Structure 1
């Protein structure tokens, strides 16, 4: 090392030189290895990001497809509801026509009875007039044999003329009554023909209504069966709860047979009303059970029901933007709305038949405890509260206090709602 006045020398021992060279080599090697690791991690992160983007695109495509299918099923359900309303209108109109037909037939039967009674009276009067005429003829013969006076003979002849005129009048009335009877029989035949045509038309209407109701009942029945619900007990419980009657669907009780027995048309109408009542109970049950989808908007499924990281994941997770609307999946009552441990902001809704749903990690709660909510009603917003690694909804379904897979109910209702 030189300075302005002197030169100094620093001597390094072989060991010092070895240590320095070794340290420099290790430093250079560590730099090369760290650079390689950082480069590999960068490339791997790029691949993972591209893979995540591809998976996100696939999920979004699947969600769009599911949304399209859901809209199509909703449109089909709306069309089925319209057909249901048309069927109700047809049943009401048919019931009115049957009542009017019954009234017309009763009036014609009464009119025919009156005509027949009048005809019997006319025939009895004719028979009495004929008997009187025969009696007068006999008296006239006796008078002629006894050589009665001319004035009495003239009186008898006048009486005979009156009787003859009366007989003519009675004959005309008889013919008129016979015409009335013939006209009444023709009207009865016409009514019978109209009744047959009405029965055929009613049969076609009944067939259309039965087909429409069957097409609406089958998907609902399959939906309940696919999740293993006791359909009969649920429907019986709803029937006991909803017992109000009245309006256009009052059971048909009248009869046209005259002997107190229910005819085939009335019996079939009663069967159709029973099917419509069952369809209504099915729809009420579907509204009260968690068959709905809890999230609205662009979301993707991130974790399903089952074991996860050595623990049981008792619900299903959907990720999406903060504030994504969260909706109730069935009618029920809010029993909890607040913050709870790892759930963060949590809503619990109790439904009928022992069901309960939970909506966790919300950013906002829009309902209160004790509030009654309807299916598809907005109850909160998606968030990232509690023990959560990102914005998402954790959704649970419990039956009798035990968690079940929510997707079983969502998939069962995919082709219905």
Structure 2
């Protein structure tokens, strides 16, 4: 069976590729090379494969060349777009930085004005109480003087009636010089005392009018101070309240947590003392205590802002934001994965700062992050600063917002010198720019 199949194949090849002889002639001899059908088939297949390979290779090279040209053009266009975008972002960053600086200056000026007005308010309140006390003393003295004047007049009238009843008038004509001197002295002293009482009464009334005028002017000035304080407190508290709300931090819960943490350190301002005689507090006292409560709230906001990551981890004038929070193409593997922070590219050694008060919980090497600093803050917030070249803090160290904690580098899983900055709330990563953007026009 195999022999028949081989004979058929050989016949088919002889029909398609008949046997050929190639003669090689020299001066002395003539030889030939016999080309069998199988040999011709193998040679033909080799030629076909070679031509096919040449065609495919040429097509691949042409397609790669065309694709490379398009890719380079696209890369140039993307680069120009990125540069324009970076220029726009740089301009926006500079304007935001100027606005933040101006807002910080306004905030500091408002705090200084509030402190000055609070001192003036307390001084005015003390002066008002002194004037009220003086008015009460003058009114008491005036009442006593008027009572004494009325008593003296009654005594003088009674003396006259007694003198008339006892017939002193006829006796005066024949009275002795000693009696006349005594009577003159008594009448003169009584008249002088009456005149002095009347003069004291007029002086007391004039002094009362002056004090009432001064008290009225003082009340007007206090009302003006109250209005200025209320406006200054409102201007200062509203942006802070908005900042915490934009960052997803409920102000009531945050302030209550700060109040509990500082309850034993005398943080809240002391309210004005109310009356101990069971009297209802005055409108000025209620108004002053309301302002003091708002100042206490402002102080709590200030302490809370120090403990939340509202600051920038780097000087924005020395870096550019190279990548944001969210899903992106992984620069190492090319796959799509979640980027849990924000990247800021800059020079090696660029200063990195703590964005809030807290305690260092990690300062060393961690896989993927390279040289890493982790800081635990209040409200369940944690910040991470990765890929550093040098660490400047130790585990357990307390840091404040703005402290220099590390130098920018390219350690760990990184494609270039940059800072990878993360914010986690109760262990869950959130966009750090939420806090940074919320603090614009406040700090």
> Which TM-score band applies after superposition, normalised by the shorter structure?
0.7 to 0.9
Counterpart of 1:331 in structure 2 is 357
Counterpart of 2:197 in structure 1 is 177
- Alpha-carbon contact 2:124-2:222 (below 8 Å) kept: no
Aligned residues: 403
Q: Distance in 2 between matches of 1:142 and 1:204?
A: 67
Q: What CA deviation, in whole Å up to 9, does each residue of 1:361-400 have, x standing for no partner? A: 1122121111111112221122221112222222211111
Counterpart of 1:132 in structure 2 is 159
Aligned-residue Cα RMSD (Å) equals 3.6
Q: Offset of 1:274 from its aligned partner?
A: 0.9
Q: Offset of 1:405 from its aligned partner?
A: 2.1
- Alpha-carbon contact 1:133-1:160 (below 8 Å) kept: no
Q: Distance in 2 between matches of 1:298 and 1:227?
A: 24
Counterpart of 2:137 in structure 1 is 110
* Aligned partner (choices 378, 390, 402) of residue 416 of structure 2: 390
Map 1:241-256 onto structure 2 (within 5 A).
241-243=261-263, 244-245=265-266, 250-253=270-273
TM-score when normalising by structure 2: 0.78
Q: Distance in 2 between matches of 1:263 and 1:115?
A: 26
Whichever of the two has the greater Rg, that structure is: 2
Q: Distance in 2 between matches of 1:246 and 1:37?
A: 71
Q: Measured at CA, do residues 141 and 264 of structure 1 come closer, stay the same or move farther in structure 2, by a change above 3 Å?
A: closer
Q: Distance in 2 between matches of 1:187 and 1:141?
A: 43
Q: Distance in 1 between matches of 2:234 and 2:407?
A: 39
Map 1:195-214 onto structure 2 (within 5 A).
195-214=215-234
Map 1:89-100 onto structure 2 (within 5 A).
89-100=116-127
3-state secondary structure, aligned to 2:406: strand
3-state secondary structure, aligned to 1:360: strand
Map 1:406-417 onto structure 2 (within 5 A).
406-417=432-443
Moved over 4 A (4+): 15-33, 141-144
Q: Distance in 1 between matches of 2:134 and 2:218?
A: 19
Q: Offset of 1:73 from its aligned partner?
A: 2.0
Q: Offset of 1:143 from its aligned partner?
A: 8.2
1:280 matches 2:299:
yes
Q: Measured at CA, do residues 352 and 25 of structure 1 come closer, stay the same or move farther in structure 2, by a change above 3 Å?
A: closer
Counterpart of 1:3 in structure 2 is none
Q: Distance in 1 between matches of 2:108 and 2:240?
A: 13
- Alpha-carbon contact 1:335-1:370 (below 8 Å) kept: yes
3-state secondary structure, aligned to 1:389: coil
Q: Distance in 1 between matches of 2:89 and 2:106?
A: 25
Q: Which runs of 5+ in 1 are unaligned?
A: 1-5, 145-149
> Mean alpha-carbon deviation: is it higher for 184-193 or for 30-39?
30-39
Q: Distance in 2 between matches of 1:143 and 1:353?
A: 102
Q: Offset of 1:101 from its aligned partner?
A: 3.0
Q: Distance in 2 between matches of 1:410 and 1:56?
A: 23
Counterpart of 1:147 in structure 2 is none
- Alpha-carbon contact 1:59-1:301 (below 8 Å) kept: no
- Alpha-carbon contact 2:364-2:373 (below 8 Å) kept: yes
Q: Offset of 1:285 from its aligned partner?
A: 0.7
Q: Measured at CA, do residues 263 and 59 of structure 1 come closer, stay the same or move farther in structure 2, by a change above 3 Å?
A: same
3-state secondary structure, aligned to 1:68: helix
Q: Distance in 2 between matches of 1:313 and 1:46?
A: 28
3-state secondary structure, aligned to 1:342: coil
- Alpha-carbon contact 1:112-1:181 (below 8 Å) kept: no
TM-score when normalising by structure 1: 0.83
Q: Distance in 2 between matches of 1:58 and 1:116?
A: 84
Q: Distance in 1 between matches of 2:217 and 2:431?
A: 55
- Alpha-carbon contact 1:337-1:345 (below 8 Å) kept: yes
Q: Distance in 1 between matches of 2:145 and 2:324?
A: 90
Map 1:145-156 onto structure 2 (within 5 A).
153-155=174-176
Q: Measured at CA, do residues 62 and 125 of structure 1 come closer, stay the same or move farther in structure 2, by a change above 3 Å?
A: same
Q: Distance in 2 between matches of 1:246 and 1:336?
A: 31
* Aligned partner (choices 269, 273, 277) of residue 288 of structure 2: 269
Q: Measured at CA, do residues 111 and 197 of structure 1 come closer, stay the same or move farther in structure 2, by a change above 3 Å?
A: closer
1:299 matches 2:299:
no
Map 1:4-403 onto structure 2 (within 5 A).
34=61, 37-38=64-65, 41=68, 44-45=71-72, 47-140=74-167, 153-155=174-176, 159=179, 162-243=182-263, 244-245=265-266, 250-253=270-273, 260-296=279-315, 297-306=318-327, 309-403=335-429
Q: Measured at CA, do residues 117 and 42 of structure 1 come closer, stay the same or move farther in structure 2, by a change above 3 Å?
A: same
Q: Measured at CA, do residues 368 and 56 of structure 1 come closer, stay the same or move farther in structure 2, by a change above 3 Å?
A: farther
Q: Offset of 1:271 from its aligned partner?
A: 0.9
Q: Distance in 1 between matches of 2:81 and 2:292?
A: 53
Q: Distance in 2 between matches of 1:72 and 1:213?
A: 20
3-state secondary structure, aligned to 2:219: helix
3-state secondary structure, aligned to 1:194: helix
